[in-house]
Amino acid sequence: MDTDYISTASATLTQWIEQLSSPTPAPGGGAAGAVVLAIGAATAQMAAGYAAESGSRTRTLRTAQRVRELALRATDDDAAASAALAAAYRNHSATSSSRAAAIDAAGRSSIAVVRIASSMIDVLDWLSTHGEPRLLPDVAVSAALTAAAIRTSCINIASSASAAVGEQNIEYLHSARRDAELLADRFTAIAANTTSAG
């Protein structure tokens, strides 16, 4: 069954990527973006570990770890949403409302990734000014990965908006995509500024 995808909690990275490469609905591009976010958060957490000990460092480490954990959960949530969406379109007897609900769930799973990613702003801002200078390239990498994860979500949110039903729901998705694009730009700027500073 297409819904028999491997959870990030039980798979090695090699196993998960192998399943991503297979022609099945889950995991898909949205889940791939969420994994990128988890890797970006892990990179920031690593960089924060080299900073001088302080209360701010502890908070930064905790936030990065929380983002990493939530991003992996979001990976599995998105895979579930992708599987449900594929099933709704495969089922010729599915009602229009059930398909609309699956489209909405897919869009919201991408929005959830963006919300999780937003917590990385404080992490990377702090690392840019208080982190170990030799780790600034890693901070820039984390910011670039986070931006990429958000832009992946933007693509999927736009896709959901194009298939969504209801003017209010469509506008909600478009608004979420616009906000996400602005957020991604902020992370891209952090990556550029940190790279030039390093």
More reliable by pLDDT, 81 or 3: 81
Residue 34 CA to residue 68 CA, distance in Å, equals 9
Name which of 74, 63, 106, 110 is nearest 88 in CA terms: 106
Q: Cα 63 vs. chain centroid, distance in angstroms?
A: 15
Domain 27-197 has CATH 1.10.760.10: no
Token pair of 62, please?
Answer: 């905790």
| Structural domain spans, the chain | 27-197
Residue at token pair 């039903």 = 165
Q: Is the pLDDT of residue 1 over 50?
A: no
**pLDDT tens digit sequence for 80-91:** 999 999 888 888
Length of the chain: 198
pLDDT tier at 4, thresholds 50, 70, 90: low
Neighbours of 21 (CB within 10 A): 8
3-state secondary structure (DSSP) of residue 25: coil
Q: Is the pLDDT of residue 192 over 90?
A: yes
Q: What is the pTM of this model?
A: 0.92
